[in-house]
Chains A and B, each alone.
Chain A
Amino acid sequence: MRELGLILDITRVHLMSRLKQSTVAALGVTFGIGMFIILMGFMTGLNSLLDGLILNRVPHVAIFNDIKPSDHQPIDLTQEFTNSLNVVRSIKPRSTKVRIHNATPIIEYLRNDERVRGVSPQSAAKVFYVSGALQINGLANGIDVREEIRLFNFGDYIVEGDPNNLWRDSKGILLGAGVAAKMSLGLGDRIQLGTIDGGLLPLKIVGIYQSGLREVDDIQSFVNIKTAQQLMGEDKNYLTDINVNLWDTDEAVGMAKRISEQFNLTAIDIETANAQFETGSNVRNLITFVVSITLLLVAGFGIYNILNMFIYEKMNDIAILKATGFSGKDVEKIFLSQALIIGLVGGVAGLILGYSVSVIIDHTPFNTAALPTIETYPVNFNPMYYLIALMFALLATFLAGYLPARKAKWIDPVEIIRGQ
């Protein structure tokens, strides 16, 4: 312990006597680490925003009744052809309803499963938006708006009005922003929804919905489940989709498989549905890491250079330390600790710099029509990145200091003393 104190004392005097160069070396680390923090915070913040834009709206397990040809043909039922290769050509799907058969007990069953965070049933209806002479094709989703808000951040996408008005007012509609713009309609206006079989239902606009995806906003609107059932002329058991949110996303795959087997329905889990988002994020994170590490490497070379210079300047000191009883290892420790102190001081300053700039970015206004709920640039303040950055600063400076320090370790004092 006392030995370490002595070595750190020598280190301190060396660093203070070369304050300017030490500072420049530390600044290299500071900028490297600062940039790493800023890049990681900004990039991952933006990534999770963009992913969230889609993934927040995606149920962990989506259950619906897909139209597809039957896997089992009548020929499979006869004993006679069990051992033969049966080929049936041109199989067409049977005409079935898109409704989920026995939806209510399925929902009940799912709500009782403790892995399930919530279940949100939907009934989709194809409609025409009618306002005066204008007619636009669209899709009205019947939803339980309170469950949608709780499970899928639905409220974030309502740019005008209050989504809760939908369950207060059974004749309300949350209209897609694209539709509203095309039809010059606003909050409080009335709109008529035309059904395929010719009916018309007047509704009051209680909110404007904007997902940020144009193709969605141009056709989509939300109504109460009952309203949608009324539009389709169906009873209250008519549900087309059941969206399930789980406590743990990792269970989605297994759950989807079991549901589709148990109820003979199509169940898509979030990972299958959105694999490409994960890939995109990973690649962006990788690029950020590579850029940051390059910055730190450059800082590392700076430290290597300056320590090398230190050691040439300190040849006499090294010789005298060795002559008076300091071992090569002691000398190595002196120079390594100089590198590590530069790394630590520069690294911590870099964390402060990175954090400060991140805070500034986090408060910079960022308004875009595509992202209605975002007012400032998104920044991720995950402490993990700060920890990684500090570890990397120490690792880089250790490596940069190691070679010069090892050189100092092997310096022959006799050669220096003779050389004078």
Chain B
Amino acid sequence: MREIIRTERVSKYFTKPVMFQVLRDISLVINAGEFVSIMGKSGCGKSTLLYVLSTMDTEYNGTLYLNGNQLTGRNAGELARVRNEEIGFVFQFHYLLPEFTVLDNVMLPARKLGKKTVSEIRASALEKLQLLGIEDQANKKANMLSGGQKQRVAIARALINEPKIIMGDEPTGNLDSTNSENVFQIFKQLSRNGDLSLLMVTHDEDLARRTDRIIRMEDGQIVS
């Protein structure tokens, strides 16, 4: 099976307010098409790990590979390119650009990538919105949407550049149970067709149990 993400002995320290080791020698592998959840108590380092894997946090020891390429030591511009092209993000608090329309929000990463023309990008953005059942909201301002709708827009945006992996930091954490179930179903569906990998940090034991694999963390270490 093909590896998407591999880490070798990743450690990280917080120096403020006191010296504290938040990640201890994390070595893990996520395969293509796998739906993995990370669980653990608050402060166990699961979000920190996700940000290291996402390439946004570069202050760690150890080595990170994405799709077989070493990312550790690359410069900020290259890492931005990697995030743009190969990783999709879904956050707990939606994080759309509030003054832009839903369609613009979805299109922005693809326009940054610049591999297609604007009209091609618009078509593919509408397609993603349709997939998530919110194409009728396309021309609304992002701040006019409900929480569940926003999260679907965020997923559409994460999908726009056909990434290898989607990372979610408690993507259902701020939603009611109906919406949370909807979003999870979308993830489940995405992982079923194609070899898109999903990595989700969550507190929700029920949701986690329905993923392919659970990584449990305690005190900065993987326990199971």
Q: Which residues of A contact B (CB under 8 A)?
A: 2-3, 6, 10, 13-14, 16-17, 316-317, 319-330, 412-414, 417-418, 420
Residues of B within 8 A of A316 (CB): 95
Q: Say yes or no for B131: interface residue by CB 8 A criterion.
A: no
Tell me whether A330 and B47 are in contact in the complex, defined as CB-CB below 8 angstroms, given that A316-B95, A324-B89, A413-B56 are known contacts: no
A413 to B99, CA, bound (A): 19
Establish whether residues A323 and B57, one from each chain, have CB atoms under 8 Å apart when the complex forms: no
A205 to B212, CA, bound (A): 115
Establish whether residues B91 and A417, one from each chain, have CB atoms under 8 Å apart when the complex forms: yes
Looking at the assembled complex, report how far the CB atom of A345 sits from the nearest CB atom of chain B, in whole angstroms.
19
| Interface band, chain B | 20 to 34
Residues 102-138 of chain B, each 1 if its beta carbon lies under 8 Å from chain A, else 0: 0010001101111000000000000000000000000
Residues of A within 8 A of B145 (CB): none
Q: Which of A319, A324, A329 contacts B157 (CB 8 A)?
A: A324
Residues 21-61 of chain B, each 1 if its beta carbon lies under 8 Å from chain A, else 0: 00000000000000000000000000100010010110000
Residues of A within 8 A of B108 (CB): 6, 10, 321, 324
Looking at the assembled complex, report how far the CB atom of B88 sits from the nearest CB atom of chain A, in whole angstroms.
8
Establish whether residues B57 and A325, one from each chain, have CB atoms under 8 Å apart when the complex forms: no
Looking at the assembled complex, report how far the CB atom of A281 sits from the nearest CB atom of chain B, in whole angstroms.
51
Residues of B within 8 A of A328 (CB): 76-77, 80
Establish whether residues A325 and B109, one from each chain, have CB atoms under 8 Å apart when the complex forms: yes
| B117 closest partner in A (C-beta) | A2
| B91 closest partner in A (C-beta) | A417
CB<8 Å pairs between A and B, sample of 28: A2-B114, A3-B114, A6-B114, A13-B97, A16-B99, A17-B99, A317-B97, A317-B98, A320-B95, A320-B97, A321-B97, A321-B108, A323-B89, A324-B108, A324-B112, A324-B157, A325-B81, A325-B83, A325-B85, A325-B161, A326-B80, A327-B76, A328-B76, A328-B77, A330-B80, A413-B56, A417-B169, A418-B51
Residues of B within 8 A of A418 (CB): 47, 51
Establish whether residues A325 and B112, one from each chain, have CB atoms under 8 Å apart when the complex forms: yes
Looking at the assembled complex, report how far the CB atom of A118 sits from the nearest CB atom of chain B, in whole angstroms.
67
A321 to B82, CA, bound (A): 13
Q: Which of B51, B77, B97 contacts A414 (CB 8 A)?
A: B51
9 residue pairs, one from A and one from B, having the closest CB atoms:
A325-B84, A327-B80, A17-B99, A324-B109, A320-B95, A325-B83, A6-B111, A414-B51, A327-B77
A14 to B77, CA, bound (A): 23
Looking at the assembled complex, report how far the CB atom of B106 sits from the nearest CB atom of chain A, in whole angstroms.
10
Establish whether residues B96 and A324, one from each chain, have CB atoms under 8 Å apart when the complex forms: no
Q: Say yes or no for B93: interface residue by CB 8 A criterion.
A: yes
Establish whether residues A420 and B97, one from each chain, have CB atoms under 8 Å apart when the complex forms: no
A10 to B92, CA, bound (A): 24
Q: Say yes or no for B65: interface residue by CB 8 A criterion.
A: no
Establish whether residues A417 and B95, one from each chain, have CB atoms under 8 Å apart when the complex forms: yes
| A328 closest partner in B (C-beta) | B76
Residues of B within 8 A of A414 (CB): 51, 56-57
Establish whether residues A329 and B83, one from each chain, have CB atoms under 8 Å apart when the complex forms: no
| A13 closest partner in B (C-beta) | B99
Looking at the assembled complex, report how far the CB atom of A115 sits from the nearest CB atom of chain B, in whole angstroms.
62
Q: Which residues of B contact A (CB under 8 A)?
A: 47, 51, 54, 56-57, 76-77, 80-85, 89, 91-93, 95-100, 104, 108-109, 111-114, 157, 161, 169
| A6 closest partner in B (C-beta) | B111
| A326 closest partner in B (C-beta) | B112
Residues of B within 8 A of A322 (CB): 56, 80
A13 to B112, CA, bound (A): 16
Looking at the assembled complex, report how far the CB atom of B18 sits from the nearest CB atom of chain A, in whole angstroms.
18
A10 to B97, CA, bound (A): 10
Residues of A within 8 A of B104 (CB): 13
Residues of B within 8 A of A14 (CB): 99
Tell me whether A323 and B111 are in contact in the complex, defined as CB-CB below 8 angstroms, given that A418-B47, A420-B93 are known contacts: no
A412 to B85, CA, bound (A): 20
Looking at the assembled complex, report how far the CB atom of B93 sits from the nearest CB atom of chain A, in whole angstroms.
5
Residues of A within 8 A of B99 (CB): 13-14, 16-17
Residues of A within 8 A of B81 (CB): 325, 327
| A410 closest partner in B (C-beta) | B76
Establish whether residues B111 and A2, one from each chain, have CB atoms under 8 Å apart when the complex forms: yes
A351 to B109, CA, bound (A): 39
Establish whether residues A325 and B113, one from each chain, have CB atoms under 8 Å apart when the complex forms: yes
Q: Which of B76, B92, B109 contacts A420 (CB 8 A)?
A: B92
Looking at the assembled complex, report how far the CB atom of B145 sits from the nearest CB atom of chain A, in whole angstroms.
15
Residues of B within 8 A of A2 (CB): 111, 114
A83 to B109, CA, bound (A): 94
Looking at the assembled complex, report how far the CB atom of A156 sits from the nearest CB atom of chain B, in whole angstroms.
61
Residues of A within 8 A of B77 (CB): 327-329
Looking at the assembled complex, report how far the CB atom of B200 sits from the nearest CB atom of chain A, in whole angstroms.
15
Establish whether residues B84 and A324, one from each chain, have CB atoms under 8 Å apart when the complex forms: yes
| A418 closest partner in B (C-beta) | B47
Residues of B within 8 A of A3 (CB): 112, 114
Establish whether residues A323 and B92, one from each chain, have CB atoms under 8 Å apart when the complex forms: no
Looking at the assembled complex, report how far the CB atom of B215 sits from the nearest CB atom of chain A, in whole angstroms.
20
A13 to B107, CA, bound (A): 14
A329 to B75, CA, bound (A): 12
Q: Which of B80, B96, B98, B100 contacts A325 (CB 8 A)?
A: B80
Q: Told that A320-B96, A323-B83, A417-B169 touch, could you supply 12 new A-B pairs with CB distance under 8 A? A: A6-B108, A16-B99, A321-B97, A323-B54, A325-B85, A325-B113, A326-B84, A327-B81, A330-B80, A330-B112, A414-B57, A418-B51
| A416 closest partner in B (C-beta) | B95
